A and B are shown apart, each in its own frame.
Chain A
Amino acid sequence: MFKPLILILMGGVLINNYVLQQFLGICPFLGVSKKINQAVGMGVAVTFVMLVATAATWPIYNYILFPKYAYLQTIVFILVIATLVQFVEIVLKRFIPSLFKALGVYLPLITTNCAVLGVAINNISDGFNFVESIVSSLGVGLGFLLAMVLFAGVRSRMENIKTLKSFQGLPVTLIAASIVALSFYGFSGVIEGLLA
């Protein structure tokens, strides 16, 4: 019973890694991966928002929009996700100020992160049920966290190398990101083999 769930989870982390395989959420991936603790903060925040967003959007789609008004999903999802993020921010500020401070500016930034909308829409187009959707968004979130942490490590090494002037800054960062993404192709097919 748990095997398909584990497959979905590991698939989200390694095989269908949103950042490195599907190229969603590149903006925070490049923007907030300079320091490893910031990268972890952003990754945890995204994972959390993905979980909450999936828990809210799945019922809305399946009980209100489906099947007649399915075309409304994008606009409704964006609305719901933005509200949720704001709501979470208000609640955190009141009850867990330390966590609010740690997440800082990342929390409102996640509102417009396409990876969050992507996971909500993909869960529905993959035909997952509620539990599978939650597990899938957890996996995707953890995959995002993994990619952020890995890349923060790569970037901290990159600060110490000498680069051609024309490659300094973003160009060399993108090249490094593509090499990290390439390494993730090695995971295709590994998970099914491990659990077989």
Chain B
Amino acid sequence: MDMKILIPVLIGLTISVICGVVLTVASRLFAVKEDEKFLNIRDCLPGANCGACGYSGCDGYAKALSSGEIDATNLCVPGGDGAAKQIADVLGVEAEDVIEKVAYVACNGNCDAAPRKVEYHGPQSCRIANMNYNGDKFCTFSCLGYGDCVAVCSQDAISIENGVAKVDPEKCVGCGACTRVCPNKVIHIVDAASRVKVLCSNHDKGAVTRKACANGCIACGKCERTCPNGAIKVEHNLAVIDYEKCTGCGECAEACPIKCIELKNF
């Protein structure tokens, strides 16, 4: 009677013990030496594998750091300043604060500046409005103002003012949900500290842009010539700022005849 229970238990136990021993021996015998720096860095990271750093996961980021591929210790958003400091300690470098991101709408074609070619009475959605001959404004690159981004924003940071979406940088956390939902891709994510922004997305030639919107970039190139750092360039008839070089002096904003470059003072 007892044997009926004892033998199966023994069989199970024996097989488990054999499995355990085999695995233990194998993991010792075939152990791959992991870089100690890599392990230490990985311990600093939260292990959320969210991908906010731009790598496949915490392991990928830790590997890039330990191999010296990159030296930015502040890419981990969930870990915040704490993780950045720990990683910097491991690597023996100075810690930098985690860069906060913020969204902005690269369009200022409000109701006064950008005339409409048709009267649109369809559903109040940018995506649907855009399917109908690229929206109701003459400018086909513009913010349509039907608030798809407002609906998707979890922080309640976006509002439609005078026909154009506006982001409240105080509330925005830089998640990027609005950039994905905008049919014209006029919302961009930038560092919260950047002061200068081009408020236009129109790639038409100057004269065409001028007809479609009074606030549009006419690609005159004045900003490009004014910038002391070569940080702003007109590409495909639109001024584009290279934030790596931009110091935020704001001379381009002053020079712009259209005033489509915004300079924000803190």
Question: Which residues in A have some Cβ–Cβ distance to B below 8 Å?
Answer: 60, 64-65, 68-69, 72, 75-76, 79-80, 82-83, 86-87, 90-91, 93-95, 97
Determine the chain A residues whose CB is within 8 A of the CB of B7 once the complex forms: 68-69
Query: In this assembly, does B177 line the interface, its C-beta being within 8 Å of a C-beta of chain A?
Result: no
Q: Say which residue of B8, B19, B22, B31 sits within 8 Å of A72 (CB atoms).
A: B8
Is B12 a contact partner of A76 (Cβ separation < 8 A)? yes
Is B26 a contact partner of A76 (Cβ separation < 8 A)? no
Is A91 a contact partner of B16 (Cβ separation < 8 A)? no
Is B16 a contact partner of A87 (Cβ separation < 8 A)? no
CB distance from A18 to the nearest CB of B (A): 25
Question: Which residues in B have some Cβ–Cβ distance to A below 8 Å?
Answer: 7-8, 11-12, 15-16, 19, 22-23, 26-27, 30-32
Main secondary structure of the interface of B (DSSP, over half): helix
Is B32 a contact partner of A83 (Cβ separation < 8 A)? no
Determine the chain B residues whose CB is within 8 A of the CB of A93 once the complex forms: 30, 32
Is A90 a contact partner of B8 (Cβ separation < 8 A)? no
A87 to B15, CA, bound (A): 15
18 residue pairs of the A-B complex, CB under 8 angstroms, read A64-B11, A65-B11, A68-B7, A69-B7, A69-B8, A69-B11, A72-B11, A76-B15, A79-B12, A79-B15, A80-B15, A80-B19, A83-B22, A87-B22, A90-B30, A93-B30, A94-B30, A94-B31
A46 to B193, CA, bound (A): 50
A62 to B7, CA, bound (A): 17
A76 to B12, CA, bound (A): 7
Determine the chain B residues whose CB is within 8 A of the CB of A87 once the complex forms: 22-23, 26
A87 to B27, CA, bound (A): 8
Is B30 a contact partner of A75 (Cβ separation < 8 A)? no
CB distance from A118 to the nearest CB of B (A): 20
Is A72 a contact partner of B30 (Cβ separation < 8 A)? no
Is B12 a contact partner of A75 (Cβ separation < 8 A)? yes
Is B27 a contact partner of A90 (Cβ separation < 8 A)? yes
Determine the chain B residues whose CB is within 8 A of the CB of A80 once the complex forms: 15, 19
A71 to B22, CA, bound (A): 25
CB distance from B196 to the nearest CB of A (A): 38
Is B23 a contact partner of A86 (Cβ separation < 8 A)? yes
Determine the chain A residues whose CB is within 8 A of the CB of B27 once the complex forms: 90
Is A91 a contact partner of B12 (Cβ separation < 8 A)? no
CB distance from A87 to the nearest CB of B (A): 6
CB distance from B127 to the nearest CB of A (A): 11
A64 to B26, CA, bound (A): 24
Is A83 a contact partner of B23 (Cβ separation < 8 A)? yes
4 smallest beta-carbon distances between A and B, as pairs: A94-B30, A83-B19, A90-B26, A90-B30
Determine the chain B residues whose CB is within 8 A of the CB of A90 once the complex forms: 23, 26-27, 30
CB distance from B116 to the nearest CB of A (A): 27
Q: Say which residue of A69, A79, A86, A95 sits within 8 Å of B16 (CB atoms).
A: A79
CB distance from A4 to the nearest CB of B (A): 32
Q: Which residue of B lies closest to A64 (CB)?
A: B11
A65 to B32, CA, bound (A): 36
CB distance from A168 to the nearest CB of B (A): 14
A65, A83, A93, A97 — most chain B CB neighbours (10 Å):
A83
CB distance from A29 to the nearest CB of B (A): 23
A61 to B260, CA, bound (A): 77
CB distance from A80 to the nearest CB of B (A): 7
Determine the chain B residues whose CB is within 8 A of the CB of A79 once the complex forms: 12, 15-16, 19
If A64-B11, A75-B12, A79-B16 are given as contacts, then 4 extra A-B residue pairs at C-beta distance below 8 Å, sorted by A number, are A72-B12, A83-B22, A90-B23, A94-B31
